Structure 1
Amino acid sequence: MESSIANHRAAKLPRVDWIDAAKAISILLVVFHHAQLVASSEHLSWDFLTRLDRLAQPIRMPLFFSLSGILAGSALALPWKQLLKRKVVFYYYLYVVWMTLFWLYCRYVQVELRQPEMGQSVGLLVSMLVLPRSGFWFLWMLAIFFTLGKLLDPWRGALALCVLVALALVAEMISVPLPLRAVRNIFLYAPFFLGGAWYGRQILPLIQRRPLLLLALGVLSYGVMMLWLRLGMADMPGTGFLLSIAGLLLAIGATWLLCRSETIRRALCYIGRNTLPIYVVHGVIINTAVAAMLGMSLQASLWIIPMLSVLAVAGSLLLRRLLGPFGARWLYSADGLHMALQSFRAALHTRGILARQS
C-alpha cells in the first residue's frame, strides 16, 4: 500500500496547458515589475503604471511558487540522492552561474541602476553565495524549498501547513534590511510552494471542474481585500497573506478565461514553457535599455514600461536560441556540471589505475 502511494506521488504530473499559461502570466508580471522598478527609479514611469504594479504585487510571487510547488510534488518523493542532484544542485548551480554573470555585467559593462554597489566588491559576490541581493533569489529559494520539502515530508499535511502559514503571518509583520530579505521570503512563500507540492494533485481536478466558480471567487475576494486596504487596514495581521490567496484565485480563474482563446493560449503556453530563460536574463536587458534611454534624455512616457517588458521577454528568448547547445548544457541546466564531474572522476580513476600499475 505504502509503495503504491509512493509510486503515485513520484509519477510526474502530465503537462497541463493552464499551468503553463499561469506560469507565463506570473513571469510577465515579474518582468513588468522589474521594468517598472528600474524605470521609476530614473523617473521614466507614470504613476498609473506604478499603481498597476502594486495591484499585481500579491499575485506574482505567490502564483509562481504555488505553480512551482504543484510541479515539484513528484520530485519530493524521490530518494535524497536523486532529489539533490536533479533539483537542489540544479537550482543552486543556476543561481551561482547567473548571479556571477550579473556581478560581472555590473562590474565591467553597466552599473545596476537601482543597486550601484552591485559589482563593486568581490566580497559582495562571495556573500551572495549565501544570501542573495539580486533578482536571482528565486533560484536560490527553490533549492531551499526542495530541501525543506524533503525534510518535512514525514510530517506533510494540514497541521504542518498551518504551522507554515503561522510563520508566514509572523514574517509578514517583520521589516528586515535587504541582506535578510531573502530569509524573510522563505517564511512568506513556503506555504505556497509546499501547499502546492502537498495538495496540488487534489486541487487540480477541482480547478478544472469549476473554473468559473474560481474566477468569481477570485474577483469577489480580491475586490473585498482591495476595499479592506482602502479602509486603512493594510497593517492588520494576515492582510498580505489573505490578499495573496485572493490573488491566486483571481489569477488562476483569469488564466482559464484567457485560455479560451486558442491564440492567447498558445502564446502563453510557449512563454510558460520558457520561464527560466526569461527569468535569468530579463533584468540585464531592462537595466541596459533604461541606461541607454538615460543617455538619450528621454522623458517619462506611457509606452516605456510595456516596451521594456516586450523587449526583455523577446530578448531573453532570442538569447536562449542563440546560445544553442552551450547554453542548454551550461547556462540553463546543470548537465555541463554533471558531465565535468563525471569526466573528473573518470580521470582520477584512470590515474589511480595507472599509479597502481606503475
Structure 2
Amino acid sequence: MEDRIGWVDYAKGICIILVVMLHAVHNVEYLLNGQGWMRPIVEFAYPFRIPDFFLIAGLFLSRSIHGPVTDYIDRKIVHFIYFYTLWVTLQLGILEFGTLTSSPLYFAKIWLMSFIEPTNSLWFVHMLLVFYAVTWLVRNVPVWIVLLGALILQSLYQLVIIDTGWNVVDRFCNRYVYFYIGYAFAPQIFAFAKRAAKYPLLGLGGLLIWAVLNWWMVQHEMHYMFLTSFVMGIAGATAVCVVSALLSRFRWAGFLRYCGRNSIVIYLTYAFPLAFMLRFVLPRTGAPFGDVGLATALTLAFCVGLPLLFHACVRHTSMRILYERPQWASLTHHLRRRALRADGAL
C-alpha cells in the first residue's frame, strides 16, 4: 500500500501544481498584458488537469462508502462543509475586505450565495462534497448504469444541450464521470500503476506517444469537442498515473510528493499569495527582465511555497484548525459523547 500511496501523492502533487499554474498564468499575463513561456504548459494540461484531480479524489472512496452512514457523512460531507465554510469566509473576508466594511449586507449576500453558486477558487471543495453525496446515494446501483448515466451527462454538456448557467449543475455533468471512474475502477487503476512502475521503458514510450497526440489534439481544440474531450481527459489522467508510478519507483522528486501530501494546504491557501503578487508586487515591479514567463514562474513558486511554509509554522499550534478539522466540528465525536452520556460515563 505504501507504493500505491506514494504514486497517488505524486499524482496529486502534479495536479495541484498544474491548477495553481493555471491561475498564475491567466492572472499574471492579464495583469502584465503579455504572454509567457508557461502558457503552452497550461494549454497542454487543459484536457486532463481537472479530470485527473477528480479521478484521484475518488480512488479511496470504496474504503468508506459501505461503512457506517454516520462515519461516511462525517468524513465526506461534514469534513468538506467545515473547510469550505471556513475558507470561503476567510477568502471573502480578506480579499473582499472593502465590501465587508462598506456594505456588510451585500457582503453577507455574497457569502450566502457562495454556498449555492461557488465562483471562487474553492469550487473544487464544494464540488467534492456534491460528488461524495451523490456517489453514496447511488452506491448500490450497478456500476455500468451509473457510469453510462455519467457519460451521457458529460456528452450532453459537451454538446451544449445541458447549459443551465448554474455552475454546480454544469460542473457536475461535465466532471462527475471522472470521479466515478476513480471510485468504481480503483483496483484496476492501482494494478495498472503497479505494472507501469515495473516497466519504465514501456511506460516512457507510451508517455511520448500520448504527449505528441495530446499536443496535436490541443492545437486543434479537440479538448472542447464531444467525445474527444472525454477521451483526452481519461488518456491524460492515465498518463499522470504512469508518470507518478515511475516517480514513486525512482524517488527523486520528493518535493512533488510533499506537495501532493499537502495538496489541500496549497489549494485552500494559494489565493492569498496570488492576490498579494497581483495587487502589491507585480504592479510595482512589472515582469523581471521583461520576461512575463519568469514573472509567472516566480508567482507560481510563491503560491506553492508560501502555503507550505505557513502550514509548517502553524501545524503544531492552535491555528492548525485551518487545515485539520477539530473535534468540535466532528459529527462522530459528538455522537460518541452523546452515547457516553446516555451510558452515564460522562
Where in structure 1 are there 5+ consecutive unaligned residues?
1-11, 112-116, 354-358
CA gap of 1:339–1:61, structure 2 versus 1, over 3 A, is closer
1:214 touches 1:252 (CA, 8 Å); kept in 2?
A: no
Match of 2:309 in 1: 318
Q: How does 1:258-337 map to 2 (within 5 A)?
A: 258-264=247-253, 266-299=254-287, 301-326=292-317, 330-337=321-328
2:223 touches 2:232 (CA, 8 Å); kept in 1?
A: no
Q: How does 1:169-184 map to 2 (within 5 A)?
A: 169-174=155-160, 180-184=166-170
Q: How does 1:190-201 map to 2 (within 5 A)?
A: 190-201=176-187
CA gap of 1:201–1:330, structure 2 versus 1, over 3 A, is same
Judge which range, 292-301 or 211-220, deviates more: 211-220
Identify the match of residue 70 of structure 2 among 68, 76, 81: 81
Per the TM alignment, residue 44 of structure 1 is displaced from its structure 2 partner at its CA by: 5.5
The one-letter amino acid paired with 2:262 is N
Match of 1:188 in 2: 174
Judge which range, 227-236 or 277-286, deviates more: 227-236
Pairing 1:106–2:95 present = yes
Where in structure 2 are there 5+ consecutive unaligned residues?
none
Q: Distance in 1 between matches of 2:9 and 2:215?
A: 27
Q: CA-to-partner distance for each residue in 1:197-239, whole Å, 9 max, x for gaps? A: 1110232112211355455444434533543454565654212
1:133 touches 1:178 (CA, 8 Å); kept in 2?
A: no
Q: How does 1:99-248 map to 2 (within 5 A)?
A: 99-108=88-97, 121-174=107-160, 180-211=166-197, 213=202, 215-231=204-220, 233=222, 236-248=225-237
- Alpha-carbon RMSD across the aligned residues, in angstroms, is 3.3
1:215 touches 1:252 (CA, 8 Å); kept in 2?
A: no
1:228 touches 1:234 (CA, 8 Å); kept in 2?
A: yes
CA gap of 1:328–1:83, structure 2 versus 1, over 3 A, is farther
Q: For residue 324 of structure 2, give the secondary structure of its aligned residue in structure 1.
A: coil
Q: For residue 128 of structure 1, give the secondary structure of its aligned residue in structure 2.
A: helix
Per the TM alignment, residue 137 of structure 1 is displaced from its structure 2 partner at its CA by: 0.8
User: What percentage of aligned pairs have identical amino acids?
Assistant: 21
Q: CA-to-partner distance for each residue in 1:50-76, whole Å, 9 max, x for gaps? A: 232111111211111111110222121
The total of aligned residue pairs comes to 332
2:157 touches 2:163 (CA, 8 Å); kept in 1?
A: no
CA gap of 1:102–1:123, structure 2 versus 1, over 3 A, is same
TM-score for both structures, normalised by structure 2: 0.84
TM-score for both structures, normalised by structure 1: 0.81
- Greater relative CO, 1 or 2 (CA 8 Å, sep 6+): 2
Per the TM alignment, residue 37 of structure 1 is displaced from its structure 2 partner at its CA by: 1.8
2:55 touches 2:182 (CA, 8 Å); kept in 1?
A: yes
Q: Distance in 2 between matches of 1:47 and 1:176?
A: 34
Q: Distance in 2 between matches of 1:120 and 1:320?
A: 32
Per the TM alignment, residue 255 of structure 1 is displaced from its structure 2 partner at its CA by: 2.3
CA gap of 1:40–1:345, structure 2 versus 1, over 3 A, is same
Q: Distance in 2 between matches of 1:342 and 1:259?
A: 36
Judge which range, 31-40 or 336-345, deviates more: 336-345
